[in-house]
Amino acid sequence: MNINLKNAVLLTHKDCLDGSACAIVWKEATLQLLGKERPVYFTNPEQMEVDRAIYNIWDGPDGAVQVVCADISPSVPICAANTDSLFVIDHHKTALPLVDFPNSYIDMSMCGSKLLYRELNAHADWLDPFLESVNDYDLWINENKYGDFYALLHNFWGQQRFTTPPLPMLGNIDGLWDLFEVLNEKRNAYVKKALERTAYFTIDGHNAAFVICERGYANDTLNNILKNTNAVIAIGVDFVAGSASVRGLKDGPIDCSSFCKARGGGGHFAAGGFPLYVEEENLRLLEVLL
């Protein structure tokens, strides 16, 4: 990719650990290579939102000639029409239609922040273990004890604080395990209550679950539903955020990315999301469930 960092900005996944890791990689890389940080923007991952954010950046005050999308993807038409000014680095299944474009780097084998780190060719000793932890959490590998901690810390701090200097502390968080215990206890209590108010129904004959929950706790809540019930797909709705999170079984009968794409969103086979305001079908679904 012919990315000119001097004239580029990053657009990445809002309220997401991997998106925040992309912002951290971008800040560190531009600081190393340019001596100053280049701007970072966040947006919801739905393609309509991504397209709108890209045009807003081009019309904005930063003088950005190039937009680098990481961990999110625009629509095919905007990617095809802007091969010199738009670059896409993503690992979601819904990004596969962009795989043959010269301005895209689509690889489902690792998280978005690791892909961005590789593409920018920057290096920091503290970033390597941090990104391994994020990758472990984002791809549900669950072999790295720090991945879950970073996710809890991200939910506790919020995206702005999590991506604000001093960033190198993220490479060494062993002194924060007391905080992890507190956050873990809070999460477990939240998930327990969420399980008690979960509703069950069917989608195309398959057992499904529905719960209202905060987006920051959606991953844990929905995965616990799948683990402890006979549901093969679980949907969590955050009315404040205006979005729905979806989780399914890795070898289940429903492809979450297709399910969410049909509703204006996207994602992976076993995880995805969609906005609540894109199609009337989503509102009808909620009316039935509520």
Q: Which two tokens stand for residue 21?
A: 């890791």
Separation between Cα atoms, residue 197 and residue 194, nearest integer Å: 5
pLDDT recorded at residue 281: 54
pLDDT recorded at residue 142: 85
Which own/partner contact pairs does 97-105 have at CB distance under 8 Å and 24+ positions apart? 98/73, 103/1, 103/79, 104/79, 105/1
Report the amino acid identity of residue 99: V
pLDDT recorded at residue 259: 93
pLDDT recorded at residue 63: 65
pLDDT recorded at residue 278: 46
Q: Which two tokens stand for residue 274?
A: 């969609």
Q: Give the residues across from 246 on adjacent strands.
A: 235, 272
CA distances from 109 to 33, 112, 142, 207 (A): 27, 10, 15, 29
Residue of 16, 4, 7 whose CA lies nearest to 163:
16
Domains annotated on the chain, with CATH: 5-167 (3.40.50.2300), 195-289 (3.10.310.30)
pLDDT recorded at residue 277: 66
Q: What is the DSSP secondary-structure string of 89-118?
A: EE--GGGGGGTTSTTEEE-TTS-HHHHHHH
Blockwise average pLDDT, block size 10, the chain, 290 residues: 91 96 95 94 92 92 85 96 95 94 96 96 88 93 88 91 72 73 93 93 94 91 94 92 91 94 89 75 54
Report the amino acid identity of residue 91: H
Q: Beta-carbon neighbour count of residue 33 at 10 Å?
A: 14
Q: Beta-carbon neighbour count of residue 36 at 10 Å?
A: 9
pLDDT recorded at residue 178: 84
pLDDT recorded at residue 166: 65
